[in-house]
């Protein structure tokens, strides 16, 4: 028996490695279709997360003020603020521009540095596409025991509404404050 050596060259045609232009175009078309389907859901998710962040910032401010009032033994107030150093006013209901927490030794809802008031913390304005409104009060004061005074009167409680631009169901949030200073956030089923 005679063995023959095989040559390294093949007589058949070899396909080059890589993608053809048609395969690449089909892949791009599929990715574009999937992106078009997913993008609206993603935008709604971003909007919902923005409103949740604004709500959590407001809850944080109220909790910080209540805890500081209890630990310091003096009133601490959270109010709407446009500049981060003073309150926007007792009757202001638009809190979108931001809010501050400060020690409140003088007249309620006024930052009076001559009387020893000092800003504890400043919260930046809400997202540009969101609005934060209160039900007719511009500040919340917590006394040394943590009891809340809503605006100019000792009300049973107050509430905030956080609304995104072009609101859809389940995106708007409501935040309530009880007389005892507790906060609770809820999701509104419809935009008010």
**pLDDT tens digits for range 62-116:** 999 999 999 999 999 999 999 989 998 888 899 999 999 999 998 888 899 899 8
| Confidence at 3, pLDDT banded by 50, 70, 90 | low
pLDDT at 62: 94
pTM higher than the cut 0.85: no
Strand partners, 153: 150
What is the Cα–Cα distance from 40 to 171, expressed in whole angstroms?
14
- Using alpha carbons, select from 58, 68, 62 the residue that is nearest to residue 145: 68
The pLDDT of residue 44 is: 80
- Residue 175 confidence (pLDDT) above 60: yes
For the chain, list the domains and their CATH numbers. Answer: 59-187 (3.55.40.10)
Q: What pLDDT is recorded for position 46? A: 83
Instruction: Give me the mean pLDDT over the 174-178 stretch.
Output: 89
- Kindly state the greatest CA–CA separation across the chain: 114
Percent of the chain at pLDDT exceeding 90: 35
Euclidean distance between CA atoms 4 and 20, whole angstroms: 39
The pLDDT of residue 165: 83
Residue 16 vs residues 12, 20, 116, 152: alpha-carbon distances, Å: 13, 10, 80, 80
């Amino acid at each position: 028996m005679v063995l023959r050596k095989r040559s390294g060259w093949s007589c058949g045609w070899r396909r080059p490695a890589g993608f053809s232009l048609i395969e690449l175009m089909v892949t791009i078309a599929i990715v574009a279709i999937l992106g078009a389907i997913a993008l609206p859901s993603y935008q709604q998710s971003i909007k919902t997360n923005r409103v949740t962040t604004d709500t959590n910032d407001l809850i944080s401010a109220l909790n910080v003020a209540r805890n500081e009032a209890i630990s310091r033994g003096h009133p601490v107030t959270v109010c709407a603020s446009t500049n981060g150093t003073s309150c926007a006013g007792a009757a202001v209901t638009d809190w979108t521009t931001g809010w501050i927490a400060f020690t409140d030794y003088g007249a309620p809802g006024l930052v009076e540095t001559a009387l020893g008031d000092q800003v504890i913390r400043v919260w930046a304005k809400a997202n540009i596409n969101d609005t934060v409104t209160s039900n007719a009060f511009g500040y919340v004061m917590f006394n040394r025991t943590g009891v809340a005074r809503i605006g100019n009167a000792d009300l049973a409680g107050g509430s905030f509404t956080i609304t995104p631009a072009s609101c859809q169901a389940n995106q708007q949030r409501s935040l309530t404050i009880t007389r005892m200073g507790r906060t609770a956030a809820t999701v509104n089923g419809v935009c008010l």
